Each structure stands twice: as C-alpha cells, then as structure tokens.
C-alpha cells in the first residue's frame, strides 16, 4: 500500500522545492486552487460516484460527516474557555477547530490507497462536512468577527448552489441511479481526474510556511484537533456500524487539519488569520504522515 501513498509525500516535497527555488511562485497556488475546486475535484467526484456501487450503508457517511463536525464544534466551545482564548483568536479557533480539509489530503490519500471506492467514501463524508462549513461557519465568523457585510441565510444558500462540488455530487448520483454511461464523457472525466493527486499535493507544498511568531498555541491546537478528531471519528464509525474502507474514511477524515478555506473566512471576518495559517502550516505535513499510516490499516 505504501508504494501507492508514499509518492504523495514526494510530490509535497517537490512543491516545497519548487517554491524554494522559485520555479513556481506561492501566488500561483491560487490558480491551482481554483482549478482544483472548480474543475478537477468536481470532475473526479462526478466520475467516481457515477461508477460506484452505492449501497444503503454509504448513505450513513454524509450523516457521519455532519455528526463529527457538530461534535467537534461543541468541543471547541469548551476548549476556548479552558485555553483562555479571547477576541479574534477565540473566533479563529471556533471556525477552524470543527472544519476538516477532506478535499485535499483526504481525497488524495484515500484515492491513492483505495482507488475509486476510497475516494467515493471520503467524498460522501465530505458532503456532510461541506454542508456544515457553508451553513454554520459563516454564522460563527459573523458572531465573533467584524464582517463588513451582515450575515444572510439567503446569500449562503446561493453560495452553496453555485458550488461546483455540490453539482458534481448531484450529477454523479443521477448518472449512477439512471445507469447512464457515455464512454466519451467517462474518459474525459478520467483524464481530468488523473491530475488530482499531483496538483493537490503540489498545492499543499506551495502553501506550507515554516515561520511562526509562536509555535505554542498553533501546535497545541493541532495536537488537540488531531487527537480528539481521531477519537470522535472512531466513536462515530463504531456507533454507525461502519467497517472496512468506510470506517477508515471516517476516522481519517476526522483527523484532518482545518479546512484551508478557514484562512479566508478568518481574514474576511477580521479574526486571527495568522493563528489559523500557522496551525495549518504545522498540521499539513504532520497530517500527511498520519494519513499514510491509516493506509496500512487492513480494510
């Protein structure tokens, strides 16, 4: 299994090297991010779900995603009091602790280790995670931040409706249940999806930063998020009766760092974006290593 997943670490290091020697600028990561979010990841999800055998138990995965995020959110409110966080750092902690970066590390590792079945499992979990992110995180950011625009449910729903990932799920499921298979379309989606693993890990390498004003709080948050996440993920997987690849997907997803989008949310709401960026930069390489270990678990 490691012969499929260890190359991901090599691509991550290649991204670091490309940035260090100025082969690619860090600002170019924005273009890669847009390609991933608007084209490559949706095409990959659509192709994977359209060809997957969707059994009833898989429908538990989006529910598991929502449940894990809500539990982590409740725990985050307890932790801010224990850690004595205030102001923008408190808000940044609350928007980052419950979110999960499934769309990069999770997709890459599950796809490399378990193929389309693994990708489908974590993509379905991520559907619940994404719903919570778009519906709950903006409210928290609005309450604890200083947004220039007032929060409106209608604007959030419009944002969700414009999200390519949502339509990828919808179209993939429709193609699956209607048993429509067009070879040319499937081949096109497969070709687009073939760049997923490389671009995701290369992008993470570009985003990684090694300079922090203080390692203590971001490092502690990273450790708490990962340790608590694994425990919550395992608990939910057992309670839901998930086994094999589905259980691995839930536990792996729950261990992931905060969503990269929380950096944008924190900055827009005038929260402590530097804290979120520092935590992510510490967590990304650690999470890659932990996820590689998950692939050694028998499915």
CATH number of the domain where residue 271 is located: 1.20.1530.20
Report if residue 61 sits inside a domain: yes
Report if residue 30 sits inside a domain: no
Query: How far, CA to CA in Å, does 245 sit from each of 23, 215, 231?
Result: 38, 35, 17
pLDDT of residue 155: 66
pLDDT of residue 97: 93
Report if residue 123 sits inside a domain: yes
Contacts of 49 (CB under 8 A, 6+ apart): 120, 123, 124, 168, 169, 172, 173, 175, 176
How many domains would you assign to the chain?
Answer: 1
pLDDT surpassing 80 at residue 291: no
**Angle of the 60-83 helix axis to the 87-96 helix axis, nearest 10:** 160
Report if residue 74 sits inside a domain: yes
Q: In a 3-state reduction of DSSP, which class is residue 187?
A: helix
Element (H, E) at 139: helix 107-144
Terminal Cα-to-Cα distance of the chain (whole angstroms): 11
Report if residue 210 sits inside a domain: no
What's the whole-number mean pLDDT along residues 146-151? 55
Question: Would you say 124 and 142 are in contact if contact means Cβ atoms under 8 Å apart?
Answer: no
Report if residue 100 sits inside a domain: yes
Question: Would you say 176 and 50 are in contact if contact means Cβ atoms under 8 Å apart?
Answer: yes
Per-residue pLDDT band at 4 (split at 50, 70, 90): low
What's the whole-number mean pLDDT along residues 24-34? 78
- Please report, rounded to a whole number, the percentage of residues in the chain having pLDDT higher than 70: 87
Report if residue 257 sits inside a domain: yes
Token pair in block for residue 267: 């900055």
What's the whole-number mean pLDDT along residues 263-273? 78
What's the whole-number mean pLDDT along residues 220-237? 93
pLDDT surpassing 90 at residue 247: yes
Q: What is the extent of the structural domain holding 87? A: 2-6+57-180+216-294
Report if residue 22 sits inside a domain: no
Element (H, E) at 94: helix 87-96
């Amino acid at each position: 299994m490691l012969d499929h997943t260890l190359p991901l670490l090599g691509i991550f290091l290649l991204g670091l090297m490309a940035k260090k020697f100025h082969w690619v600028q860090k600002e170019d990561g924005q273009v890669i991010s847009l390609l991933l979010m608007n084209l490559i990841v949706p095409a990959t999800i659509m192709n994977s779900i359209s060809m997957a055998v969707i059994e009833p138990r898989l429908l538990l995965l989006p529910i598991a995603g929502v449940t894990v995020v809500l539990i982590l959110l409740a725990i985050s409110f307890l932790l801010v009091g224990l850690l004595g966080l205030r102001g923008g750092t408190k808000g940044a902690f609350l928007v980052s602790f419950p979110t999960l970066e499934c769309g990069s590390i999770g997709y890459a590792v599950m796809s490399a280790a378990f193929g389309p079945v693994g990708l489908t499992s974590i993509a379905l979990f991520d559907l619940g995670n994404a719903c919570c992110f778009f519906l709950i995180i903006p409210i928290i950011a609005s309450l604890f931040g200083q947004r220039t625009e007032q929060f409106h449910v209608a604007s959030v729903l419009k944002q969700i409706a414009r999200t390519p990932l949502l339509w990828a799920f919808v179209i993939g499921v429709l193609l699956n249940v209607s048993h429509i298979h067009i070879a040319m379309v499937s081949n096109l989606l497969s070709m687009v999806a073939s760049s997923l693993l490389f671009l995701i890990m290369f992008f993470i390498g570009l985003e990684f930063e090694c300079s922090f004003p203080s390692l203590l709080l971001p490092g502690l948050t990273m450790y708490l998020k990962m340790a608590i996440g694994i425990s919550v993920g395992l608990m939910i997987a057992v309670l839901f009766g998930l086994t094999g690849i589905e259980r691995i997907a839930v536990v792996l997803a729950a261990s992931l760092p905060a969503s990269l989008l929380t950096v944008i949310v924190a900055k827009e709401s005038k929260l402590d974006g530097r804290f979120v960026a520092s935590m992510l930069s510490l967590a990304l390489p650690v999470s890659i290593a932990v996820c590689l270990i998950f692939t050694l678990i028998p499915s």
